[in-house]
Chain A
Amino acid sequence: MKVLFQWFASLRLTVVLLSLSMVLIFFGTLAQVETGIWKTQQDYFESFIVIWAYPETWLWQQQLFWLHIPLPGGYLLGGLLLINLIAAHLTRFTFTAPKIGIFLIHFGLILLLVSELLTDILAVESQMPVDEGSRSNYSQAYRSNELVLIDRTHSDFDTVHSIPVALLKPGKTTPVPDSPLSVRTLHYYPNAHIGRTQDGMPVNSPATMGVALKMGIVVTPTAESHAENQINTATAYVEVLGPEGSLGTWLVSNVIDERFPPQIVTLGPQRWEIALRLKRHYYPFEVELIDFSHDKYPGTEIPFNFSSEVMVHHQDRSKDQKALIYMNHPLRYEGLTFYQASFANDDRTSIFQIVRNPGWVLPYISVLLMGLGMLLQFGMHFFKFLSQRSRSIQA
């Protein structure tokens, strides 16, 4: 046990891990060209192990297609570095007053590693587009979808029953929470082309109800795209089951949205709207976009500032807040951070990136600790040097 612990605490391990981190960053950068930043981050940095393959678009691909290099992933390296640093403190370092600077630097580093892990696990990102003069109380995650059944029969509120698409496995039946229904997945396509046949042409489709039948919609599955700014057309055929059997099969897709008439599931007097959509996060407040400004350098199309003037209307009036959101000046509200992300619609729509990250303050603390540690460490050396020098001059 002791040998193992010493191995974990060794400086040699630190050097190896830091070198491997550099190798991982190098290969991650190569992969980013092929798969985009989001996928690379998942494959290389939010994993324990990753296998780099010789890219298809490179020279000599014919000769080197077999070349695959296994690498330790970000979680493995970060985790081992964390263990290494803590183990080193427990064995090699002893806490004394003159070493307080080193301790602060190392503690800051440990906090930084932990905060990265917390961010990976806990942070949720989504986007909220708002038109000038209108309001929104939800944001959408562009990389995850949900199957929803919405009960709009109550006069005061709507009830949303949401099933993440991760549970839509062909052949599997998932009960719809708080309802007498369950959903059986016939097909699920992470990405597809949705088109329409010529009027009057018969459609070969598993759907027995809804828009697919009425409008002659054809689905052609395609490869999932990981490119930035590209949204996959998640599409599924789902059969809705009531207590006494099938109620029909619907085609649902995140492009069959509000532009289309709602697809309705009926069971006796009860009605639900069924849809597959980008996953929504609803909030107890509404964000109103009062004004969006897009300033350009005079005489050019080069932007120098985007800013959004917003008013947040909370259900609890005392929490209402007015804010100006612009580059590097996000709005922090109710544990969420609103960044100015993009704009559309001839500068009339502003798009906010909304991040919920409970650990957002940790990196700031860790950087402060490391800064303070360095100040103490170098300060002590400096004053020691000064006093030695004055003593030698006196002598």
Chain B
Amino acid sequence: MIQALQQLLSHHPTLALITMATALCLSGCDQAQPVSYQIPKEPRSITTPTMPAAPAPAASTSGNMQILPGMEQAAAAAGEVSYSVPVGWIELPPSGIRKGTLRVTSEVGSAEITILTFPGNVGGSLANINRWRGQIGLAAATATDLPAYTEDYQIAGHRGLYVRLEGSKQSILGALLPFHGNTWFFKMLGDSPTVLANEDAMREFLDSIQFDDHSH
């Protein structure tokens, strides 16, 4: 059998060469085509994305926040945070890339407290504070104004920045904390009377923050 094949191919060497050349050329014929297919019904939950965008002019790229595909995983990899819930606050289930969501309501309004973390410095303190200022209708500030509404604040034994932004309708009390290569954002945003009345509770909340930190 083998000898017969040998004889055949040795008399027709071109046959052998053509066969092999065809096999090699096959590798180039791998052009993708559009297709349609059916899949089992997919749940499509619509959540509003949380995009911590540092404000920047459209032309510049350096200040623009990038949402990279790995960001969600990076947020997940940043570890978890634990805290105690101040009296009167309600803890909501974490959603999307939020590490925690809480809510406080009073007769004069309501406010939401969120915990987020992103890799890197996310544009730096000034850019992020200006983003927060934009959210409550305040004009952007400069670096020299910063001390007027920020103070150093210890969170879980690390140096963070406490931010107090009072707007006419809405206000923000928050904190930025660089920790292990990530920046953590703790923010209470809501109706000014509610937010300002909860300043002590916010500080109590920040004091209770603990990281599930395995590397210490």
User: Residues of A with Cβ closer than 8 Å to B?
Assistant: 1, 5, 8, 46, 75, 79, 82-83, 86-87, 89-91, 95, 114, 117, 120-121, 137-138, 152, 155-164, 166-167, 174-179, 193-199, 201-204, 215, 218, 220, 231, 233, 254-255, 257-262, 273, 278, 282, 301, 344-346, 349
Contacts and interface: CB of A to CB of B under 8 A. Distances in A.
Nearest to B78: A346
A75 to B, nearest CB: 6
B108 interface: no
A261 B48 CA distance: 7
Contacts of B2: 95
A231 B69 contact: yes
Nearest to A348: B76
A-B pairs, top 7 by smallest CB distance, nearest first, are A195-B64, A196-B53, A164-B32, A198-B55, A178-B36, A345-B76, A259-B49
Given A114-B23, A177-B35, 15 more contacts: A8-B17, A89-B6, A90-B9, A95-B6, A121-B27, A177-B34, A195-B56, A197-B55, A198-B55, A203-B58, A255-B69, A258-B44, A261-B49, A345-B76, A346-B80
A83 B17 contact: yes
B126 to A, nearest CB: 13
Interface of B: 2-3, 6, 9-10, 13-14, 16-17, 20, 23-24, 26-27, 30-42, 44-51, 53, 55-58, 61, 64-70, 72-73, 76-77, 79-80, 96-97, 131, 134-135, 214
B119 to A, nearest CB: 14
16 contacts: A1-B13, A79-B20, A83-B16, A86-B16, A89-B6, A138-B39, A179-B36, A193-B66, A194-B67, A218-B64, A255-B67, A257-B69, A259-B97, A261-B49, A345-B73, A345-B77
B36 A204 contact: no
B93 to A, nearest CB: 15
B185 to A, nearest CB: 16
Contact of B24 (A79, A89, A166, A196): A79
A330 to B, nearest CB: 23
Given A120-B27, A198-B134, A164 B72 contact: no
Given A83-B17, A159-B38, A162-B34, A259 B56 contact: no
A75 B35 CA distance: 30
B66 A215 contact: no
A163 B68 contact: no
Q: Which of B42, B48, B96 has the most chain A CB within a 10 Å cutoff? A: B42
Contacts of B31: 166
Given A178-B36, A218-B58, A262-B44, A83 B51 contact: no
B34 A260 contact: no
Given A83-B20, A95-B2, A163-B34, A215 B51 contact: yes
A351 B57 CA distance: 38
B61 A193 contact: yes
Contacts of B48: 261
B69 A233 contact: yes
Nearest to A175: B34
A197 B53 CA distance: 8
Contact of A344 (B17, B76, B134): B76
A199 B58 CA distance: 11
